[in-house]
Amino acid sequence: MFLFLPSGSNWSAQALERAESVWIVVAIISAVVLLGGLIGEYSEIEGWKKTRRYKLAKWAVIIGVLGELIGDAGIFETSDALQQKTDAAITAQLPRNLTPEQQDAIAKELSKWATAKGMNGRQRVAIFPTSSEFEAAHLADLIAAALGPKGAGWDVNRNPVTYGKSFAVSGVALMVAKSSRALAVASDLRHALMDAKILSSILPVPGMDCAAIHMTQSLETDPACSAISVWVGSHP
């Protein structure tokens, strides 16, 4: 929780560096005030403790200690925020990836959707890159492996399934069939990808609409009615 930066603030690195410098100055000034107060408080001059300056020295010690605590806390917080911003900038430049451990976690989380009672087949998903970059194609391969027969056990199609729609995708976008099961499956898939640090979203336009073609009795049993298309776009 931020004490010295506004909650949810998105300060630039330059602003954080300036804030850190301000807190350093606060800490230094407080240390000087504290030192002056200690010297005044422990002076052995006869009658000194009866003077007004002695009382001021005691206050200087209190103010100096509080100032140092606040300054140190401000330095710590701005330094931590600056480090997080630096780490995020470095991470953003790295190719997206799924480690074997992350693939296993995705497979474990999504395997519960592989099939359902009365379902004529397995959960369907089409996974394809929408960018010509190798990085997007490689990420699509990793997601497909996590969801495929050796992973979550889904029926994976590697061909583009866009239902005649076109989008410029940044990150990973999920096109979801128009059914409650499909939305629940897509929601879990998105959360699993986000947990693996893969920026994902659900497209506002649905894919397969079984109700529109009078397949209302098959909404929860026909795999086509819960199919998902995973569009792997360029690196955000």
The CA angle 138-91-194, to the nearest 5 degrees, is 65
Decide if 65 contacts 41 (C-beta within 8 A): no
The CA angle 118-122-125, to the nearest 5 degrees, is 135
Average pLDDT, the chain: 84
Structure tokens at 190: 């998105």
Range with lowest mean pLDDT among 103-117, 142-156, 165-179, 201-215: 201-215
Decide if 30 contacts 71 (C-beta within 8 A): yes
Going from N- to C-terminal start, the domains of the chain cover 13-93, 100-232
φ and ψ at residue 25, rounded to 5 degrees = -60, -40
Q: Which residue has the tokens 């089409």?
A: 126
φ and ψ at residue 47, rounded to 5 degrees = 80, 0
* pLDDT tens string 37-66: 887 777 666 676 677 887 888 888 888 888
* pLDDT tens string 61-93: 888 888 888 888 888 888 887 777 766 665 566
* Maximum CA extent, the chain: 101
